[in-house]
Structure formats: structure tokens, C-alpha cells
């Protein structure tokens, strides 16, 4: 659950603006392709949402994702 928590934490830190894929990749210590794979799974679960801005991919945490990260942090 560590990688998932790292990704959700970084996107939560990004607030309403979200976080660039490169920022998440760096802070979670993941390769770009691994990050995209994990984020796709989180999007399918409803924990993240993704938008594209020119060449950048931005991820935002959803309300469901916020609930999950709160539960993870409580452990």
C-alpha cells in the first residue's frame, strides 16, 4: 500500500490544482511508466482523476481518494 499512499499524498498536496505526473514520479520515486500504470488503476478505482494540459498530465485526488488516504494515515 506504500506506493498507493505516496501517489495519493502527493496529489493531495497539490490541492485543487492537482499534481503533474513528473512531480508525482519524482516525489514517489517511481519511473514515469510505472506511475502511469499505477495512476490508471487509481483512476479506475475512482481515487484519482486525470486531465491533460498541453503536454502535461495532471492528476487530482477525488473525494473517494481523500477518504482512502485518511484511512491509510490513521493506521
List of domains in the chain: 2-74 (1.10.10.10)
Find the mean pLDDT for residues 58-75: 91
Is the pLDDT score of 66 beyond 90?
Answer: yes
Is the pLDDT score of 42 beyond 80?
Answer: yes
Give every CB contact of residue 57 below 8 A, 6+ residues apart in sequence: 20, 21, 36, 50, 51
Q: What is the DSSP letter of 22?
A: H
CA distances from 21 to 4, 5, 57, 67, 74 (A): 14, 15, 6, 22, 26
Amino acid at each position: 500500500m506504500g506506493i498507493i499512499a505516496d501517489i495519493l499524498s502527493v496529489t493531495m498536496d497539490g490541492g485543487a490544482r492537482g499534481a503533474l505526473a513528473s512531480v508525482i514520479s519524482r516525489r514517489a520515486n517511481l519511473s514515469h511508466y510505472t506511475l502511469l500504470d499505477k495512476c490508471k488503476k487509481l483512476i479506475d478505482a475512482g481515487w484519482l482523476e486525470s486531465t491533460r494540459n498541453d503536454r502535461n498530465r495532471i492528476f487530482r485526488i477525488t473525494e473517494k481518494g481523500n477518504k482512502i488516504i485518511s484511512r491509510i494515515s490513521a493506521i
